[in-house]
Structure formats: C-alpha cells, structure tokens
Structure 1
Amino acid sequence: MKKIIILITVIAGLSLQSCKKYLEVPSYNQVSDENTIFDASSAQTAVRGAYRGLASLNNSSTFQNIVLQSGGDVRSINNAQTDLNVINYSLRSDIPLLLTLWANDYNTINRANHIIQKVPGVTDINLTAALKDQLLGEGYFIRAISYFDLARLFGNVPIFLTPTNVVADKVGTPKSTQAQVYAQVLDDLNKAEALLPATVVRNRATKFTVYALRARLNLYLQKYQEAESDASLVLANAGYKLNTPFALAAGTTESVLELSYNTTDLNPAFSLWNGNNRALEPKATLYNLLNDPAVGGGRKILATKTGTAIFGGISPTNVSAGYVIRTAELFLIRAEARAKKATPNLADALADLNAVRLRSGIAASTAATADDILLAVENERRVEFALEPQRWFDLVRTGRAPAVLSLSDANKYIFPIPGAEILANPALVQNPGY
C-alpha cells in the first residue's frame, strides 16, 4: 500500500500541484479535476503551470547533476555515494534521484495531457481560436520535450497520452521502445508546429522553438537532411543570431528557449555552481580548455578560479535564466548534419562551425575531411555547452562514449528504471544490466 501511495503522489500528480507558488492561484490539487481547465483564465494558468513543471525538470539540480557528471567534465564537491555511482556508471534502481527525474517528467507530461485533452472543449468567449491554438500547441510542445528527455535518460518508457486521474489509470501500461517514444515526440512536435504562432519569444514555445527541438531530435534519429532543414528554418530568422563577443544568452538573439525564474521560483542551477556550498565544479581539464585563448576564447567567463576552487559562471544569480536551446546549438547541429548527410556539404558545415568559433573569439577551424569536421564539432560542443547537460548525450548518440569515457557497456548508456515504479507497476521491466 505504501508504494501505491508513493506512485499517486509522484506520478499521477493529480493535478499540477506546484502551480500555486508561481501563479499565486489555488493549486490544482485543491479543485476537482473536471474544473481545472474550464475557461480562458484557467487554460492559461494550466499552461503556465506546465512551464513550471518543465523548469523543474530540464533545469533541475537533479537533472543537471547526474547528466553533467556522467559527461566526465564536471565533478561533485560532495562525493556522496550517489555521486560515486554516477561517475562510476554504476547507478542503482533505488537511488532517489532517479525517482525524482522520472516523477518530474511524468508530472509535467500529466500537466500537458490535461491541456491537450481539455483546452479544445473550452467555450469561453475570451479564449479566441488563435489563443486556443497557441495554448494547445504549447501543451504538445511541453509533452514532446518531456518525452524526449525521458527517452534520452531511461530508453524504453511508458507513453501516456491522457491525464492520470487515479493510479489505476496507468498501472499495467508497459514500456514503449525508445524508437516509439521518439516517434511520439516527433508527432507531438508536428502537431505543435501547426498550432503555434511564427513569432520570436524566448521563454515560450513558438514555431521556431518547434523547429529547433525537432532539429535536435532529427540529429538523434540520424535524419541529417531533416536536421539541417529544421535548423535552417530557425537560423533564417533574424531573431536568432550569434552575438559578438560571446556573452550569456538570456534575453538575446542567442536564446531560442530559456526557462524564466524569479525571487519566488529560484533557478536551482545557481546553487550548483556558486558559493561555498556549491555542489558541482568544472574539472581542471575543462577549466583549462575554457581559459585557453585558442579554445575557449570569450567562453572563459564560464569557469573562474579562486585559489583552488573552480566556479561555474552560467547562472550568475539565483534568478538567471536556464537554457534549453541556444542559437549556437542550431549552428552546430547544422554543421554536424551537413557533414553526415548522404551527400555531405563540407564547405557549409565548416562555415557553421566557424561561425560559432569566430563569435567566441577564436581562429577558424581548418578541418578539411568529414571526420575532421565532426571531431571539431564534438570538441566545439564540449566547450560551448560546458556547463549545460549536453556532453553525456552527445557522446552516447554519436557512439563516442567508449573512446572518450572508456565506457563500452551499452547498457549503461541509459539509466535504470526507478525500482519503486517497477514495484508499483508490474508491467514495467527493468532495463538490461540493472
């Protein structure tokens, strides 16, 4: 019975329970489910709550901590047992942080499912057709990015496309394959594209945000022509360009999608990198790369040293924005796609790579072959996204984890399903190797 109660609290998320603090309205677990979305105001409140869920997921200290340490360039100050499990690639299914990751994803998905199911039926005159489309499109986008992260983290996971009202709604649902989850992500992004406006907004989904995430997804799917096309759709818009010299991207044309924080909802990444009680620090190798004028250039601001202590500079305050997708990533996605597609375009791939390098104040690359360009892109991503949770996923998706991390056990490229979830839902099967 205890495990069922945990499942209700963690997964069912009966209705978007963290909204009160952010929105200053009654939280959804204080009203009956059928009344959660019933007019224009409650529909917009639900979408804001879903973004809060996304902020709790994509920029959470748990997500950042595990993924950054797995990438090999960041170390924990604490050296707790969980940290040792992470860096030794010996995660256990009973580690609480894994349950937190799983729960945050599915709670956010549940919020999106409420939006997708209920917004179309709202008849409030204040909910115009255009606004209804926008809110519904944002629901599809938020569900897409949540499932994308679930598939990257855990591989094969259950797909839920309707709201969870009681725990019995989902018990018995088996895992879908990672390929099926990615297919669902693509379907949601395509639906979002048809509904969202073609505007430039940094902290909410638009058509351009969809193109950007779909470009990233297509790189994972090895659909290189599609990845190039989607990245080009974003980069053709003057609202998305590189700033010279390098600076943090918040609120600028270098930001495609960022997460907003305020004095009530603080950016959890701040405490990871700053102060005497910080949890993480860049390793000396990464610090040296960032502070090498020929490698890091202007990106040296991402890592500073005081005595022997190394501090990360990506979240200078506790209300700094958190980055989900940046313009620089679109250039590097397109560079990789152009070098890998069936008929490579090496000249333009190199031009995209060098756009990021020149903006950072370092010399253009002279890589000539496809392999040389791809290695240069990998190295550029390493420093460009030094304090963002990208490198682990990059090394796994490109098959470079054995060479770079000395990790040849493919079972370890995804994390174990939390044991509590398997006990609560007998249809779930643990990932191989755990």
Structure 2
Amino acid sequence: MKKISIVPLLFLFSFFLSSCENFLDVESFDKVSDANTIFDKASAETAVRGAYRSLASSNYSSGFQNTILQSGGDVRSLNNAQTDLNVINYALRSDIGFVSTYWGNFYNTINRANHVIEKVPLVNDVALTADLKNQLLGEGYFIRAYSYFDLARVYGNVQLFFTPTKVVADKLGVDKSPQAVVYAQVLADLNKAEELLPLTVVRNRATRYTVYALRARLHLYQNKFEEAEQDINSILANNNYRLIKPFNLAAGTTESVLEFSYSVNDLNAGYGLWNTSNRQLEPKAELHNLLNDEAVGGGRKILSVRNAAGQFIGGIYPTNTAAAYGIRTAELYLIRAEARVKKANPDLAGALSDLNLVRDRANVAASTAATKDEIVLAIENERRVEFALEPHRWFDIVRTGRAPAVFNLNDSNRYIFPIPAGEILANSSLTQNPGYGN
C-alpha cells in the first residue's frame, strides 16, 4: 500500500480527524461522529448548529478577515510579521501556514454540511417533521454553498466533494474543478436550498431571503446582472430588510441579512483584531480620513476613531460577543445599484437611487455621478467606505478587473492564493495554481 506523508495542517488529515472525533454527538454543539451520528431530531439539529459554528469560527475567522483586509490595502497590521509582508506585497507562498489553515477550515465546514445533506433525509423520527427536515437540509445546502463560494474566490480552481469524508483515502485522487464549475455548483446548491427553506426572516441562520442575498452576490461574480437585480428585488420587497438612519452596525435589526452569532462561551475572535492593547489591525490614515470626511464617510466615521495617543482604532466589534456580518442590507442596495448600471439595458436612475439610499442613511449628500462609468466608480468607492472593516474590498477589486489600477497588481496569478504545499504533496492529482511553482 502506498504510504502517505504526514504534512502539517493537511486538510485531508483534518477531515479524517473531524470524522473520528464525535462532532455530530448530541452532547456537543460543535462535534459529530459516525459512531453516534445523525439519527433523530435532536442530533440533526445539533449537526446543523455545528455546521453554522464551523462557518462562523472557521470561514469567518479572525485570521481570514485579517488576511483579506490587508490584501484590500486599506488596513494595516500592527505586527509587521513576515507573513504580513507576504500579504501586502502580494507575495504569498504555498508553504505559509495560514494558506493551509484557511483551506482546511473551508473543507471542514463543507464536510459538516455534507454530513447533514446525506444523513438528515434518512432520519426516521416522528419529532422531525417534514417542514423541519426540509429546513435543516436546506441549511446544509446553504452552508455548503457559502463555503464553496468563498473557497473558489480565494483559491480559484478547487476540489468538489459531495459526500462526507470518513477516511483520508476517500478524497485522494480528486483533481480540481475550474472556478466556473465551482460557482455553478454554488448556484445549484443555492437553488436547492431555495426549494427547501421557509420564507421567514431570521438574522442568524439561512432562510429563503438569505439564499436570494448570497445568490445575488454570486451573480455579480458571474456577470449575471439581471438575475442579481431580480434576487435583490425579492428581498427588498419585504420591509424587514431596510436601512436605518443614523448609520449603525446593529445586529438583529433590519440592517442585517445574515450575521454570525457569538456568546460568552463562544467569543468573536475578530474582536481582538481591533480592540485591546494587543490589537492586530488598524485602519490606514487614508481610510481613516475618508471615513471622517463628512462628504464621504458621514456617520460611518464611527468605524475609525483616533485615541488619545493618536492611533486609529477600528470600531466594528464593540464587544467580544458582538455579531460578525456575513451579509448586510446595505450590500443589497449596492449589489442592485451595480447590477442596474451594468446590465444590458442600464438603468442609471435606478442605480443612482440605490446608491443614494446608502449615502443618505450615512448622512452623505447624493452622488453627482451622471454617466455609466462615473456611477460604476461611485459604487466602488461607496463599497470601500460602507464595508471599510469587512472583508470585501480585495474581492471587489479583483472581480471587477480593477486590481492593476487600484493595487498596481498586474500579475493575474496573484489574484488567487496558492494551493497549500501539503495538499500537493499528499495528492498527486492536485496541481499548483499558476505562478506559485510546484
């Protein structure tokens, strides 16, 4: 039998561990096992909660936010570590630890979702009603879609797995699928979730409205602008999704579409990025000045304040139990604005209307943009300040082809991360992304 080398942070090994440790056990919120797997209502609900926790703790981890925020150029690290220099100089290497960590985190969440998708339909428990079974299954599809979407926009071409991993050998020999194929799978999962999920309003778990929101975001990446506008229309027809003036990042309000919840027993690690004497990040002076310019940032100046020592402090997480934002209502308006101005028959007035709703909510005067190109740039600039401390800008600039102009980054190979070196060593079917060697 062929021997497999032990590689640090290898996602395939972490998959094996996640199956062997009891991470679907009813007694544990986060864990599940094939020895005591999904077999009744309680264990099915526990499995889904664990998948959400993995999504919140892994896919939206503080480390991931740190890397993407620094890549976006408006936030700087206070650590000045070599890996920070690799990030800001767009000089990542396949042997950097976090490259493997993020990869493994995404796939661990996908594996949890695959457990739900495979096993919930097989549960025979009168307490698990047909409606609840559909809801839990729909949430599994949504969580998998969310994870594959982020995985593909970070790494480009990636492996697709649709069944739970039980042993390492289950996933050996699987080659990467093109990014476009992965996005098509994300769309298929979201369409399936739409069929299963209720048309209810819940801020911290998936509903049909949440599906519309993520699907609209995906449509922007696929240049499907009419479809993106249609999905946003479906959400904003509901008055439970509205902007609130004055500006405030308020969890549990109509400003929130999908948020990741935390508690005293499960702290938001992102808090440490911005707060305490050991904080890791701060807004750069240029971003601080934009946010504190009344004509640009308006009420969003609360996102960056100067302390007594003259340092810039990011204001996104007021406490270590504050929610993290996956999708906010402001993004809905800005997605629709972009879709309206870029679709085959542009609706400039409609695009400006959506853009100005976001600006008015921040107490900023209406945009003076008039032409299509001016409105497109105005939307880009609005996203920059609206999501100043959220991991959007890097992805926004890359997906719109603006990286050469904004980041002075002309090497398109650097628009995606390298496949972890350990994965290449362990699986001969995997090839490294162009520009990163072997």
Amino acid at match of 1:400: R
- Counterpart of 2:167 in structure 1 is 166
Determine which of 309, 321, 324 is the counterpart of 2:323.
321
Structure 1 length-normalised TM: 0.97
CA distance in 1, matches of 2:394, 2:21: 31
Q: CA deviation at 1:57?
A: 2.6
CA distance in 1, matches of 2:392, 2:284: 16
Q: Check whether the contact 2:24–2:47 (CA below 8 A) recurs between aligned residues.
A: no
CA distance in 2, matches of 1:285, 1:191: 43
Amino acid at match of 2:420: P
Amino acid at match of 1:25: S
- Counterpart of 1:156 in structure 2 is 157
- Counterpart of 1:240 in structure 2 is 241
Return closer, same or farther for 1:340/1:5 CA change in 2, 3 Å cut-off: closer
- Counterpart of 1:311 in structure 2 is 313
Shifted more, 136-145 versus 243-252: the winner is 243-252
Asked if residue 278 in structure 1 is aligned to residue 279 in structure 2, the reply is yes
Return closer, same or farther for 1:133/1:91 CA change in 2, 3 Å cut-off: same
Q: Check whether the contact 2:16–2:166 (CA below 8 A) recurs between aligned residues.
A: yes
Amino acid at match of 2:345: T
Determine which of 401, 421, 424 is the counterpart of 1:422.
424
Structure 2 SS opposite 1:318 = coil
Shifted more, 377-386 versus 33-42: the winner is 33-42
- Counterpart of 2:207 in structure 1 is 206
CA distance in 2, matches of 1:433, 1:56: 30
Shifted more, 304-313 versus 226-235: the winner is 304-313
- Counterpart of 1:36 in structure 2 is 37
Structure 2 length-normalised TM: 0.96
Q: CA deviation at 1:62?
A: 1.5
RMSD, matched Cα: 1.6
Runs of 4+ aligned residues of structure 1 deviating over 6 Å after TM superposition are: none
- Counterpart of 1:381 in structure 2 is 383
CA distance in 1, matches of 2:201, 2:22: 27
CA distance in 1, matches of 2:104, 2:85: 23
Shifted more, 228-237 versus 197-206: the winner is 228-237
Q: CA deviation at 1:25?
A: 2.4
Structure 1 SS opposite 2:7 = helix
Asked if residue 2 in structure 1 is aligned to residue 3 in structure 2, the reply is no
Deviation string, structure 1 residues 133-164 (Cα, Å, up to 9, x no partner): 00000000000000000001000000000000
Structure 1 SS opposite 2:270 = helix
Equivalent positions of 1:203-352 (< 5 A) are 203-306=204-307, 307-352=309-354
Q: CA deviation at 1:36?
A: 1.2
Return closer, same or farther for 1:186/1:27 CA change in 2, 3 Å cut-off: closer
Return closer, same or farther for 1:401/1:370 CA change in 2, 3 Å cut-off: same
Asked if residue 14 in structure 1 is aligned to residue 18 in structure 2, the reply is yes
- Structure 1 spans left out of the alignment, 5+ residues: none
Determine which of 382, 406, 409 is the counterpart of 2:408.
406
Amino acid at match of 2:301: K
Q: Check whether the contact 1:152–1:393 (CA below 8 A) recurs between aligned residues.
A: yes
CA distance in 1, matches of 2:216, 2:413: 26
CA distance in 2, matches of 1:211, 1:44: 23
Q: CA deviation at 1:268?
A: 1.0
Identity of counterpart residues, as a percentage?
67
Structure 1 SS opposite 2:205 = coil
Q: CA deviation at 1:15?
A: 3.1
CA distance in 2, matches of 1:181, 1:199: 28
Amino acid at match of 1:196: L
Count how many residue pairs are aligned between Structure 1 and Structure 2.
431
- Counterpart of 2:28 in structure 1 is 25
Q: Check whether the contact 2:200–2:209 (CA below 8 A) recurs between aligned residues.
A: yes
Shifted more, 383-392 versus 363-372: the winner is 363-372
Q: CA deviation at 1:2?
A: 1.7
Return closer, same or farther for 1:269/1:337 CA change in 2, 3 Å cut-off: same
CA distance in 2, matches of 1:233, 1:367: 27
- Counterpart of 2:360 in structure 1 is 358
